[in-house]
Every structure is written in C-alpha cells, then in structure tokens.
Structure 1
C-alpha cells in the first residue's frame, strides 16, 4: 500500500484544522472509520466477498499498522457480513487513528477539562500537507478534472456515505452538484449500485461495505433529507 490510509484522509477532512474538533456526528465518523479500513483491505486484495461474507484471502501485511491490526483481527475470526464488521470495528478505531496521526506529527493532542471534571481532547492541525493533497484530489474529481484513481474514488464514495459533503468547502455550482458528482464517481468506479462479480472481487466487496455503512448511518441519524 502506498500513500496515506483512506481512514486517515477521511478523519483529517472531518476535523476542523484550527479548533481540532470533529465537524460531524461522532457515530457516523466512527462507522466511517471502520468502513474505510475495510475498503482499504479490499483494495489491497486482503479481503474479499464470498458466500455473503467478507473473508481474509491474503494475510500479507499492507505496511499500514492500524490497517494490519484489523487484518490480523479478521484473520483470527470467522468470516462475517459487511454490516457485522462495520459495527464490530467502529469502537475505538477513531481514537487509535488520531493517536497515530499525533505520533506522526500531523495533528497535536490538546487535552482540556470542561465543567471541572469532563476531560476532552482536540486535535488541531500541525502538518497540513496530507489534508491539502486529499482536498486537491477530491476537488479535481468533483469539479470536472480527470477521472479519479481508485483510492480517490473510494474516498469520495465514503464521503457521500457518511454525509460529509459540507466539509469539502465547495461553493457555487460545484456545491450544488456535489451529491450528483459523488454518486457518479461511486458508480463509475463500481463502488455502488448492483453488486457484480464480473470484473473482480474488489468492487462488490467495496460496494457491500459502502451499502452497510449507509444503512448504519441512516439507522443512527435517520434517513437523509
């Protein structure tokens, strides 16, 4: 695997650079982290859809520590549905990814106390280069640039599934068309719609994770208006 993990890119988009606070509901973000790691493993050829479940097909480490932790966990367990894995993996994953970003100097951990006893953490940006690259790729994909690569298409698909469109900061016509364009990117990459095994196991594997994510977010937040 090369570049930043998709879950890291998604998380950086979701936190305000200055305040270091999440700009969206924590539950949908936690679900998104779990789905992003599953998508990462599917794109890397480590897991695949078979007989209604996601199964590990290759235990070779990807080189991304958090992704590999999940791979090891999945390999030690029985195959489960996409929905089951999304729910199982969401607990604690966001904090683990934030901790890794702090260790690498991308964000910093600011601990504060509210009401005299409630400890909260903020994560202001330190090194904006990762998020800047992520935003550049997404903006190009959403505003008529060249067709996005597979990983950018997967990230765009996850952005739509967890209702993150407002954090992209688009304005004018681009903002009005963002939902339509995200759907086009997801469909063009084979990451949404009908699940087919014609081309490879990657696309149906990702599509099932995205469908499970969308259902979980709808259950948590209510249907999209």
Structure 2
C-alpha cells in the first residue's frame, strides 16, 4: 500500500512537472508571438526604440533643412514596406502557406495573426486595416493600398495619410528632431531639423558597419531588422545618405555588398530556416 502510494505520488509529481514545463513553453511561445522574435529593444536607448520606418525617414531627412528631398518619389512606398515588415517581426501578421505548388511570394496573401497593440499609432492603424479587410491582399497590394496608389475607390480608405509628417512628429517626441516653420516664397512649410545628432550618427554607423566591418555573406546570419533596414533604405533611395561620409574605396565596397544583397533571389531566401517570409515578400516587391 505504501509502495503504491509512493508510485502514485511520483506519477503525480512527474505529471505536474511535465504540465508546468508545458505551460512554461507555451508562455515563452506566446511571449515571442506578442513581442516578436526580432525585437531587441533596450530600455532607455532611444535609437533602439525607433521603428524601421522612423529609421528610414531619419536617413532621408536633411539635417538642417528638416525635410526629405523633393525629388525622392520612392520613400512613400518604402515606408509602407517598413510597416509590413515591422508588423511581421512583431508577430502581428504572416504570409499564407505556399501550398503544394509553392505559390510565389507576390501571389500569397497577408494573414492577420494578432491585434495586440504595438505601441505605435500608425502600425496599429495599418494592422486594423489588415484585420478588417473583407478579402486578404498580397504584400504588393497592401503597399499600394496603404500608399493610396489604387484605382479602386472602395479601397481608398486603406490609405495612411501624412505618414512622413506623423513619423517626424514621433521623432520630435523622442528627442531626435525639432519643429520649425520655413518660408518657401509662395507657402510656409513645417520642417523638422535634426536636434540629436548622436542618434542619427549611431544609425548611420550601424548601417555602415553592417556592410563593412561586420559584413557576413549569409543574410540569414544578419539581424533581420538590420537586413530589412538596408533593403528598405535602398528601396526608399536614402541609403546613399548613410554612405556619403565614407572614403571612396569604402563607399565602393559598401555599395558592392548592397548589390550582392539585391542580387539574391527572395523566393529562394524565403525557404531557408528561420526566414521571415513577409520580409522577403517586401524585398521581392521592390526588386522584381
């Protein structure tokens, strides 16, 4: 009787321990989905708390003038691509399965996963559109819809307006930029000159080091946020601003390595272990 009690007790203990381990594993998985596997933000570090779209805009802003180049017609779509990648890295959206016939990245639909608040108004707004759309859309379609580049009047409400101005105000709140008014002969324009040069210089250094001192040939060994930043900075036509301070030979090497990334096949890269399919779908949209 005593032996039976001991065996029963041991069985209950093992079951309890197994259940505890299972709950712990589930809790860790939920936490990864909630916060995103790629989130490496550090408390108190303002640079680490910048979103991808804020980093791309910051690279594109003229330091003293406080606005992006009037000739840059790429950054609008690039910023929407940043939103999709940011939402994917935070575990809020994913790409549908490729199926048995392995549909291409550009043919697969974006799926809603979680509506947990991101802490960023524009990201939450984009996520709300993705959640409420009656039929799922592709990554390319979402970039066009969020940019307002659609001929379908029934989908114009998906457009996110004044994105650059709202991002600039975010950077003002984070102490990176300030707000001024400038007169351009026929009109006044609100501008956002740089006020914290240290954060921008650290951002520029991070991009430079990624393709110079810390270069790795395999993109899957790179931090996904940094990899996305390089791709989106190029797609938004602002990566030159990060490389401008380099010496000629360093500049040539940096651009050569960026071209190596651009020459990769997103379809192939998306099938590799731990690849983020939304990231490569966005890359495919801009490099196809």
Q: Do they fold alike, i.e. is TM over 0.5? A: yes
Paired residue for 1:124?
193
Q: Which has the larger radius of gyration?
A: 2
2:285 counterpart of 1:212: yes
Secondary structure of the residue aligned to 2:95 is strand
Change (3 A) 1:179 1:146: closer
Task: Identify the structure with bigger relative contact order (alpha carbons < 8 Å, sequence gap 6+).
Answer: 1
Dislocated runs of 4+, deviation >6 Å: none
TM-superposition CA deviations, 1:177-219 (whole Å, max 9, x none): 22321244567xx88353634535x52211111222346xxxx
1:64 Cα offset (Å):
2.9
Question: How high is the TM-score relative to the length of structure 1?
Answer: 0.81
Q: Distance in 1 between matches of 2:164 and 2:268?
A: 30
Paired residue for 1:223?
none
Paired residue for 2:164?
94
2:140 counterpart of 1:83: yes
Which stretch of the first structure deviates more once superposed, 37-46 or 174-183? 174-183
Could you tell me which runs of 5 or more consecutive residues in structure 2 were left unpaired when the two chains were aligned: 1-38, 42-48, 98-107, 148-160, 217-221
Count of residues in Structure 1 that have an aligned counterpart in Structure 2: 211
Paired residue for 2:258?
182
Change (3 A) 1:166 1:196: closer
Aligned match for 2:177, one of 99, 104, 107: 107
Secondary structure of the residue aligned to 1:194 is helix
